[in-house]
A and B are shown apart, each in its own frame.
Chain A
Amino acid sequence: MMPPILDPDRARHDFKNQLAIIRGFSEILIEETPVGDPRRRDLEEIHTAAVTALALIGRMYPDV
């Protein structure tokens, strides 16, 4: 089992990194998926969830 991350600054950084990857790739895939393709809506859901989670991080760690 991996050790817990006790440093809030590190936790914020690592968590934000992962969400940045999800947001970045989903954004690229949305751009490359034609309007009307049913997969586009799924990708937009992934993208919206990543953006929402990034905003949550800011609220979870307001002082770091």
Chain B
Amino acid sequence: MTPETEPIAILAVDDEPGVLALVRRCLDDERVTLTEAASGRDALAHLVNGAALDLLITDLRMPEMEGDELARQVRCQDPDLKVLYLTSHADRLFEAKPLLWAEEAYLDKPFSREGLREAVALLLFGRTTL
């Protein structure tokens, strides 16, 4: 299976249903299996079931558990997991995490379809197209 045909498993987490719907629309691709969660707790519950994951896309600011804390907890199970933070406040991300890991990136809200697809492709494959 080549990188161009390999299935991609993504977990998207945001407490705003409209943002999840937009992510789903942007990543509408037969290779992508997108699972959605409305909170950090929902996301962790999904991962307890042992689902394999290539990428976590998470809002940074969420009630109960913020995105960087979710990523930290998920990494305890899967240290190599790639993470894309969606944020309307990049300053907050860098207050919480002065340095991003090599497997991490962030994308400012509002984002375009091309912007999201490019960020996902860069993180997963090191190229600009999915």
Which A residues are within 8 Å of any B CB, using their own CB? 9, 12-13, 16-21, 23-25, 27-28, 31, 50, 54
Contact = CB atoms under 8 A, between A and B. Distances in A.
Most buried by A among B18, B88, B111: B88
Contacts of A27: 112-113
A21 B61 contact: no
B113 A21 contact: no
Contacts of A17: 16, 18-19, 88, 109
Chain B interface bracket (under 10, 10 to 19, 20 to 34, 35 or more): 10 to 19
A13 B89 contact: yes
B124 interface: no
Contacts of B61: 13
Contacts of A12: 88-89
Nearest to A23: B110
Contacts of A23: 110
Interface in B73-130: 88-89, 109-113
B22 interface: yes
Interface of B: 16, 18-19, 21-22, 25-26, 61, 88-89, 109-113
A54 B110 CA distance: 9
Given A24-B26, A28-B25, A28-B26, A18 B18 contact: yes
B25 A20 contact: no
A16 B18 CA distance: 12
Contact of A28 (B109, B110, B113): B113
Nearest to B91: A64
8 contacts: A16-B110, A17-B109, A19-B110, A20-B88, A21-B19, A24-B113, A25-B25, A27-B112
A16 B19 CA distance: 11
Nearest to A29: B25
